[in-house]
Structure 1
Amino acid sequence: MNRRSKLYAIALVACASMSASAAYAEANKVVIGDIDDMSGVYADIIGPGGVEAARMAIADFGGSVLGKKIELLVTDHQNKPDLGAEKFREWADRDGLTMVLGGSNTGVNIAMATIAKEKKTPFFAIGAAGASLTGKDCTPYTVHYAYDTTALGNGTATTILKQGGKTWFFVTADYAFGTQLQDAAANVVTASGGKILGSVRVPLATSDFSSFVLQAQNSGAQVLGLANAGDDFTNSLKTANQFGVTRKMKPAALLAFITDIHSLGLETAQGLYLTTGWYWDLNDKTRAFAKRFFEKTKREPTMTQAAYYSATLTYLNAVKAAKTTDADKVMAELHKAKIDDMFTSNGRIRADGLMEHEMYIMQVKTPSESKQPWDYYRLVETMPGDQAFGKLSDSKCPLLKD
Structure 2
Amino acid sequence: MSQQPIDTRRRTLIAGGAAVAASPFMFNIARAQGANIKIGFPVPLTGAFSAEAQDQVRAAEIAIKDFNDAGGFGGRKAELLVRDDKLNPGEAATRTLELIEKDKVNFIVGSLSAATQLSINAVARDRKVLFNSISQSDAINEAKDWSLYTFHEALNPHLTAGAVARYAFPKFGKRIVYLTADYAYGHEMVRGFQRAGAPLGATTLADIRHPLGVADYSAFLPRIQALKPDVLVLCNFGRDLVNSAKQVTDFGLKASTKVIAPVLLYTSRQAGGADAFEGIIGGTSYYWGMEDKIPAAKAFNDKFRKAHGGAVPSDYGALGYAGVRSVLQAVLNAKSTDSMPVSIALRQLKYNWYKGDQFYRKCDHQSVQSVIIVESKSKNMKDKYDVFNVLSIEDANEANLRSCDEMGHKIST
Fold match by TM threshold 0.5: yes
**Unaligned runs of at least 5 residues, structure 2:** 1-24
Please say if 1:288 is aligned against 2:299: yes
Please say if 1:180 is aligned against 2:188: yes
Q: CA deviation at 1:318?
A: 0.8
Q: 1:147 aligns with which of 150, 155, 159?
A: 155
**Paired residue for 2:320?**
308
Q: In 2, distance between residues paired with 1:300 and 1:281? A: 9
Which of the pair is proportionally richer in helix?
1
Q: In 2, distance between residues paired with 1:388 and 1:74? A: 35
Q: In 2, distance between residues paired with 1:99 and 1:271? A: 41
Cα deviation, 1:160-189, whole Å, max 9, x if unaligned, reads 211132111111111111111111112222
Q: 1:29 aligns with which of 7, 30, 36?
A: 36
**Paired residue for 2:272?**
264
Q: 1:44 aligns with which of 51, 58, 65?
A: 51
**Paired residue for 2:203?**
195
User: For 2:379, what is the secondary structure of its paired residue?
Assistant: coil
Q: In 2, distance between residues paired with 1:344 and 1:228? A: 27
Q: In 1, distance between residues paired with 2:196 and 2:377? A: 25
**Paired residue for 1:73?**
81
The amino acid that maps onto 1:36 is V
**Paired residue for 2:366?**
354
Report 1:197-216 matches (<5 A): 197-216=205-224
Q: CA deviation at 1:365?
A: 2.7
Cα 1:252–1:394 shift into 2, 3 Å: farther
Q: Which moved more, 1:334-343 or 1:64-73?
A: 64-73
**Paired residue for 2:335?**
323
Q: In 2, distance between residues paired with 1:208 and 1:318? A: 45
Cα 1:275–1:206 shift into 2, 3 Å: same
The amino acid that maps onto 2:379 is P
Q: In 1, distance between residues paired with 2:94 and 2:109? A: 15
Q: CA deviation at 1:266?
A: 2.3
Cα 1:302–1:395 shift into 2, 3 Å: farther
**Paired residue for 1:60?**
66
Q: In 2, distance between residues paired with 1:119 and 1:23? A: 13
Cα 1:349–1:175 shift into 2, 3 Å: same
The amino acid that maps onto 1:376 is V
Cα 1:387–1:334 shift into 2, 3 Å: closer
Q: Note if contact 1:276-1:362 (Cα within 8 Å) is conserved in structure 2.
A: yes
**Paired residue for 2:94?**
86
Q: Which moved more, 1:162-171 or 1:229-238?
A: 162-171
**Paired residue for 1:363?**
375
**Paired residue for 2:386?**
375
Q: Note if contact 1:335-1:350 (Cα within 8 Å) is conserved in structure 2.
A: yes
**Paired residue for 2:260?**
252
Q: Note if contact 1:117-1:141 (Cα within 8 Å) is conserved in structure 2.
A: yes
Cα 1:292–1:69 shift into 2, 3 Å: closer
Q: In 2, distance between residues paired with 1:144 and 1:274? A: 21
Q: CA deviation at 1:263?
A: 1.8
Q: 1:297 aligns with which of 295, 304, 308?
A: 308
**Paired residue for 1:134?**
141
Q: In 2, distance between residues paired with 1:55 and 1:302? A: 14
Q: In 2, distance between residues paired with 1:335 and 1:365? A: 38
Q: Note if contact 2:55-2:313 (Cα within 8 Å) is conserved in structure 1.
A: yes
Q: Note if contact 2:264-2:374 (Cα within 8 Å) is conserved in structure 1.
A: no
**Unaligned runs of at least 5 residues, structure 1:** 1-19
The amino acid that maps onto 2:106 is T
Q: Note if contact 1:138-1:399 (Cα within 8 Å) is conserved in structure 2.
A: no
Q: In 1, distance between residues paired with 2:51 and 2:92? A: 18
Q: In 1, distance between residues paired with 2:277 and 2:27? A: 53
Report the count of equivalent residues. 381
User: For 1:34, what is the secondary structure of its paired residue?
Assistant: strand
Q: Note if contact 2:68-2:77 (Cα within 8 Å) is conserved in structure 1.
A: no
Q: In 2, distance between residues paired with 1:172 and 1:324? A: 43
Percent of residue pairs identical: 25
Q: CA RMSD in A?
A: 2.4
Q: CA deviation at 1:80?
A: 0.8
Please say if 1:345 is aligned against 2:351: no
The runs of at least 4 aligned residues of structure 1 exceeding 6 Å deviation read 20-23
Please say if 1:400 is aligned against 2:400: no
Q: In 1, distance between residues paired with 2:404 and 2:26? A: 48
Q: Which moved more, 1:372-381 or 1:200-209?
A: 372-381
Q: In 1, distance between residues paired with 2:56 and 2:163? A: 25
Q: Which moved more, 1:276-285 or 1:78-87?
A: 276-285
Q: In 2, distance between residues paired with 1:398 and 1:246? A: 43
Q: In 2, distance between residues paired with 1:133 and 1:142? A: 8
User: For 1:79, what is the secondary structure of its paired residue?
Assistant: coil
Q: CA deviation at 1:140?
A: 1.6
User: For 1:398, what is the secondary structure of its paired residue?
Assistant: coil
User: For 1:288, what is the secondary structure of its paired residue?
Assistant: helix
Q: Which moved more, 1:210-219 or 1:229-238?
A: 210-219
User: For 1:209, what is the secondary structure of its paired residue?
Assistant: coil
Cα 1:400–1:69 shift into 2, 3 Å: same
The amino acid that maps onto 1:78 is K
Q: CA deviation at 1:68?
A: 2.8
Q: In 2, distance between residues paired with 1:88 and 1:268? A: 37
